[in-house]
Amino acid sequence: MSKKIRQEFADQMLKLGSKDKSMVVLVGDISHGILQPFAKKNKDRYYNVGICEQSIVNMAAGLSKVGLNPIVHTIAPFITERAYEQIKLDFGYQKQNINLITVGGSFDYSKLGCSHHCYTDVSLISHLKNSNIVIPGSTKEFEVLFKKIYKKKSINYFRLPEYPHGVTFSEKEIVFGRGIKIKKGSDVTIAVTGTMLKNVLEADGILKKKGISLEILYFHTIKPFDYNLVKKSVSKTKCLLSVEELSSHDGIYNQCLKSIVGINNVKNHQLAVHDFIHGYGSYDEICKTAGLSVNDILKNIKKLLNKKK
């Protein structure tokens, strides 16, 4: 089994955090076990604060105020939705710095139900002026992008997917704020983020055999967004499908639309989460419920190509 992205986070804390004495890790009783190597080595800079999301955010602001670099780690809905006002006022309004590392975005906790799902985190954080948003879909992406921005005096939001997308990028390919063109193509531009890349690549394998050529653009950085990459691609294909586990009201589709303003006759469609997803099951089963399965991608590409004719 490949290494979990969350494990990479723990490893980076040990590596970077043991050297950089300004880093203070606050966790809301999550990943406590895997962070023990860091905790044991840096006893005065590791705190399992418990189940109190509001305080953990305010406390991080206090740490930032005295020149430390808080790394706050807990479950996405509990911190970004429950403690949004704290994040907004301390880090958006007062411009303190924080590295906010979450797990359990979208339906990664697929068997635990709606209370543990979170589709709005990326949108919520994006409203804050000095925020950066990263969804590292592989361990390498986390390593490169965290190292790149963790010292920035801003809100550095990292949403760690439970399931890596399975593609290995070289360090050179991973640039903060830039998308990655996974594959050159001519018929449809696919904009994708997070674990969804896996389903997109599976769909691509099927379509290739039918002579349909996808240009696949992958985004690990949602803010700042690489508008140019989408613009160039859609100028050529005139056809766009976005695939994301984020809220349909405000995810990468909106960024893509901003990118293609001024390009005429573009056929486009969004695959995203439109509402709560009730029910339980495996990650792949919830993908089906949400309309984000490989079949859904195939079906919608077909529809777009028909419109294009």
Partner 1 sequence: MGAVNKDLRKRIAKIIIKAREGHIPSSFSIVDIINFLYKNILSFQKKNPNWEKRDYFVLSKGHGCAALYVVLEKFGLLKKKDLDNYSTSNGILGGHPDSTKVPFVEASTGSLGHGFPTATGIALGLKIKNKKNKVIVLLGDGECHEGSIWESANIANNLKLGNICAVIDWNGSAAQLMPQDDLANKWKAFGWNVFIANGHDDNSLKKIFKKINFKINGKPSVILAKTTKGKGVSFIEGHGKWHHKIPNIEEQNYLFEELK
Give contact residues for partner 1 (rule: CB under 8 A).
Answer: 24, 44-45, 47, 49-50, 52, 54-55, 57-68, 70, 85-86, 89-90, 93-95
Burial of 276 (0-12, 13-18, 19+ CB in 10 A): exposed
Least distance CB 94 / partner 1 (angstroms): 5
Give me 143's structure tokens.
């390593």
Least distance CB 66 / partner 1 (angstroms): 4
Q: Which is nearer to partner 1, 53 or 187 (CB)?
A: 53
Q: Which is nearer to partner 1, 14 or 25 (CB)?
A: 25
Which residues, in sequence order, are CB contacts of 111 under 8 Å at separation 6+?
A: 280, 281, 282
Cα-flanking dihedrals φ and ψ of residue 251, to 5°? -135, -145
Please compute, for residue 287, the number of CA atoms within 13 A of its CA located in the half-sphere on the CB side: 19
Q: How far apart are alpha carbons 197 and 67 in whole angstroms?
A: 38
DSSP string covering 51-69, please? S-HHHHHHHHHHHHHTT-E
Which residues, in sequence order, are CB contacts of 36 under 8 Å at separation 6+?
A: none
Least distance CB 289 / partner 1 (angstroms): 34
> 268 - beta bridge partners?
240
Least distance CB 35 / partner 1 (angstroms): 17
Q: Quick check: 184 and 174 in contact, CB under 8 A?
A: no
Q: Which is nearer to partner 1, 97 or 259 (CB)?
A: 97
Least distance CB 11 / partner 1 (angstroms): 23
Q: Which is nearer to partner 1, 66 or 261 (CB)?
A: 66
Q: Quick check: 279 and 290 in contact, CB under 8 A?
A: no
What's the one-letter identity of residue 186? S
Least distance CB 155 / partner 1 (angstroms): 15
Burial of 45 (0-12, 13-18, 19+ CB in 10 A): buried
Q: Which is nearer to partner 1, 90 or 215 (CB)?
A: 90
Q: Which is nearer to partner 1, 83 or 101 (CB)?
A: 83
Q: Quick check: 79 and 28 in contact, CB under 8 A?
A: yes
Least distance CB 10 / partner 1 (angstroms): 20
Q: Which is nearer to partner 1, 95 or 288 (CB)?
A: 95
Compute the C-alpha angle 189/228/172, nearest 5°: 90
Tokens 């389903």 — which residue? 199
For the chain, give percent helix, strand, coil, nearest 5: 45, 20, 35
Least distance CB 86 / partner 1 (angstroms): 7
Q: Which is nearer to partner 1, 28 or 194 (CB)?
A: 28
